[in-house]
Structure 1
Amino acid sequence: MQGTRGSGRRAALVVGLVLVWAVAKWAALDAHVWRPDEYSDTYYFFLQCRRAASGGGLAVLAPEYPTPAAALLMLPWWLGAQDHASYRLGFLVLVTAVDAAFVLLLAARTSAIGVVAWILLETLAGPLALLRFDVVPAALAGAAVLLVLQARAPAAGVLVAAGTAVKAWPILLAPPVLGDRATRRPAAVAVAATGGVFALVSIAAAGWGRLWSPLVHQRDRGLQIEAVAATGPMLERLGDPAFEVFWSPFNAYEIAGPGTDALLAATSGAAVAAAVLYAVLLVVWFRAGSPPDAAAYLALFAIAAFMATSRALSPQYVLWLAAPAAVLLGEAWRAPGPADAARAARATVTFAGVAALVGLTALVYPVLYDELLAGEAAPAYVLTARNALLVAFAAWCAAASVSAGGAASRAGSRPGRGRP
């Protein structure tokens, strides 16, 4: 009887959390889409679908995205949304369905705090969580982190491979998925098999060259104005007309001027340095027994470091951090006790950092973006603060991964986990 009452309370909580999410989602749609009649990226996606339907198929649709992502973008068109208004609606249904599935997973498998955290971050992101594609890989990555924290590494491996198939960057989460010695082999098989299936289907649908087009696209880009490496030029531009901001063939605003070529080269060096640091942190983590909490911070470090060292840093990328941070907070506060105080504090600071990043990013875009393009000082300073915080956040996650691993090592390793 007591178990039945407990199940009933849990079900009521899940329903209540989903209703809160639905109300927040509808309010966001009304404020950022319906009332201003905003289309944002959905109009670009619509044009790409029309181009694909006119000839060339998935091979020519948005080559900056992996082929499975192109198929998802084409789905509303295939279902009959063949004008820009109906396509926007179909796209919103698609990303909202993925978002709803993630919320249901959070509500069912972690604390209410995790769901509320995700709702807050999404709401803070405004249109970035509505009319952009990045909710999809973010939700997959967040779900993978949740499953790692709950010792379900093989299932997490499937989600990491699926996330990689739609936006590439979730492959950064593969090493933390393989930390549990007891499940390392099935997790590796899950990543490889799922990724292999996506690769084969992609080649069959759009050809071998299309498989690599997202990587080529990133390689050829210039210095996007929001990138961390562009911080100096964007500040110098306030008083130096030698710096030019322009709309590039890569559908982004880039900056060119004295020293920007050297900064582009420096991003490659910084990425290598970040990869080396990630490898060192992974070794430290393995030696500590691969504790799950530290795995979440490793995932956040990898994502933040990738963002900070990239030549392209679009505003919606902050969603990549939002989903894992919400999961981490929800798990840390699921059953807090005296022994968990440090764990909960780390997760809370991490969530606060991500919330600040999301808030500053949403302030830059879309609120102050026109002023930023016009060369005004205030948005450039806000962008500088955001970029500095991103670098600091990456450093925080690196340190937190070590401290979380040390705490777990002192408390004793989980059964089945240990050194490789």
Structure 2
Amino acid sequence: MESTRRRRWLLVATAIAWLVSRAGLLAVTAGLLPGLDAGDVFADVELYRRWSDDLRTGQVPVDDPMWQYPPGAAALFVAIRQFAGDSVQAYTTVFVLFALCADLAVTLALIHLARRGNRLDGAVYWVLAVPLLTLLPYARYDIFVTAPAVVALAFLLRRPVLAGAVLAVGALVKVWPAMLLIAARPLRGLRPVAVGFGVALVGSGAALTLAYAGAWSGFTGNQADRGLQVESVAATAFAVTRLIRPELTVSYVYGSMEFVHPVASVVATVLTGSTLVALGVLGWWWLTGRRRTDWTVTTGFDLALLVVLVTVVTSRVLSPQYLLWLLGLAAVCLTRRDTTLRVPAVLIVVATALTSAYFPWFYADVIGDPAWPGVALLAARNLVLLAATGIAVHRLLRRPGPRPAHPVPTDVLTVGADRRA
């Protein structure tokens, strides 16, 4: 257990680091630092505002192929519009402030997890790693999905019904938090979490369905039609091949750059099945691969990170802001002294740094005239994510069960087993 003095020092240092780093990000956003500006990084926020024009009338923009979200995203964009009014600049400002609050919620949840003998390493990790993505955490809405995911895990043990409800809120904004139900202990531990999740999902989902015409159509249609994005792990071979065969076509489809080629279409289709198979294997292991006495909170946290890692590396799409999901879940793992995923957590930070080096500085090397610097950075990032996933699979699935704190004589163990029988 960390000493009281060390914990206090870390807590103060974490708070100072959060204030200084986030003040710097806000200063860049506001254009207060000479020579630094936000550039086009907030283009997506302008898109969210444009969508809010239709959303305020109760209509989801289903005719826009870039709309690919569940209806919880609609409620988020409209809520920001209610505070911002009709000003474009005000919408960006309010969006950033909302994102800042979500960032703070993650930090506080990680500090909450550090209580009762856990570690502050997770909070330190989050505070220092998020700025590696520069302004992206405050210029994309994925921070609003990462926050409920981390908060739910923070309450998983002592407030499981609340944790499930929070996961449902996250799933209605972007689906992946639903996968974190696997962090609950099977099967008894899942029941209260599933109750909270189910009630919140049905209640909130029904309200959103009534509030927005075509609430689910854009999500189920446009999302399913997406192809192989140039940044996805499976597209790495295509990006490298394009250095030799620059005629390999890249086109702007469904809001991102995708490879347009028959083989790329087949790969995109196969990836969807691969994700489902991988999640099925992990779900089977969750149900049958461990004795109930071997399960710990740490096992659940580590499995939550692994599930999302597997989903990211097998996805057709891997946008830069997805690294924020991994950083949040890795931070949760690092609150536990006995986590098996410290090395993958470090690799996720490396992948985050490579992502920021690649995007936006060398993005044109992949989507435009192909060049080695951008392709090399992208390939390195994807290889690091693959390595993190492979190590996580090996370490978690081969994880030994918890051992007694002190040696116990064999005859005592035998008597205990007989009594339980």
What is the TM-score normalised by the length of structure 2?
A: 0.84
Contact 1:156 1:177 in 2 (8 A): no
The equivalent residue for 2:353 is 359
Cα contact 2:183–2:303 (8 A) shared by 1? yes
Decide which of 324, 328, 336 is 1:331's aligned counterpart: 336
Distance apart, 1:296 and its partner CA: 1.4
Q: Alignment length, in residue pairs?
A: 389
Instruction: Please show how residues 20-419 of structure 1 align to structure 2 within 5 Å.
Output: 20-31=17-28, 34=31, 35-38=36-39, 39-53=42-56, 55-58=57-60, 63-110=67-114, 111-148=119-156, 150-179=157-186, 181=188, 183-207=189-213, 209-248=214-253, 250-257=254-261, 259-289=263-293, 290-332=295-337, 343=338, 346-374=340-368, 375-404=370-399, 406-408=400-402
Unpaired stretches in structure 1, ≥5 consecutive residues: 1-5, 333-342, 413-420
Residues 285 and 294, structure 1, Cα contact 8 Å, conserved in 2: no
Query: Aligned in 2, Cα 1:105/1:75: closer, same or farther, shift over 3 Å?
Result: same
Distance 1:241 1:285, change over 3 A: same
- Distance in 1, Cα, partners of 2:212 & 2:332: 35
Bigger shift: 305-314 or 60-69? 60-69
In the TM superposition, what is the alpha-carbon distance from 1:67 to its structure 2 partner? Answer: 1.2
3-state secondary structure, aligned to 2:216: helix
Task: Name the amino acid aligned to 2:169.
Answer: A
User: How far does residue 176 in structure 1 lie from its aligned partner after superposition?
Assistant: 2.0
CA–CA separation in structure 1 for the residues paired with 2:59 and 2:217: 16
Question: CA–CA distance in 2 between the matches of 1:69 and 1:170?
Answer: 14
Q: Look up the SS of the partner of 2:226 in the other structure.
A: coil
Q: In structure 2, do the counterparts of structure 1 residues 20 and 81 end up closer, same or farther at CA, with 3 Å as the change threshold?
A: farther
SS at 1:407 equivalent: coil
Contact 2:298 2:336 (C-alpha < 8 Å) held by counterparts: no
Q: Which runs of 5+ in 2 are unaligned?
A: 407-421
Query: How many angstroms apart in 1 are the aligned matches of 2:290 and 2:405?
Result: 16
User: C-alpha displacement at 1:123, in angstroms?
Assistant: 1.0
Contact 2:186-2:292 within 8 A present in 1 as well:
no
Q: Provide the rounded CA distance (Å) in 1 between the counterparts of 2:394 and 2:6.
A: 38
Q: Provide the alpha-carbon RMSD of the alignment.
A: 2.7
Deviation larger for 276-285 or 229-238: 276-285
Tell me what 1:3 maps to. Answer: none
- The 1:357–1:9 alpha-carbon spacing in structure 2 relative to 1, beyond 3 Å, is closer
Give TM-score scaled by structure 1 length.
Answer: 0.84
SS at match of 2:259: strand
User: Is contact 2:310-2:389 (8 Å) kept?
Assistant: yes
Between Structure 1 and Structure 2, the one with more helix by share is 1
Q: Give the distance between the partners of 1:232 and 1:12, measured in 2 at CA.
A: 47
1:106, 1:114 within 8 Å by CA — same for their partners in 2? yes
| 1:12 to 1:358, Cα distance in 2 relative to 1, 3 A | closer
Please tell me whether the aligned partners of residues 157 and 191 of structure 1 are also in contact (alpha carbons under 8 angstroms).
yes
Contact 2:182-2:303 within 8 A present in 1 as well: no
Q: CA deviation at 1:263?
A: 1.2
| Change in CA separation of 1:285 and 1:96 when aligned onto 2, cut-off 3 Å | farther
TM-superposition CA deviations, 1:388-420 (whole Å, max 9, x none): 22222222222232244x2326779xxxxxxxx
Task: State the identity as a percent.
Answer: 26
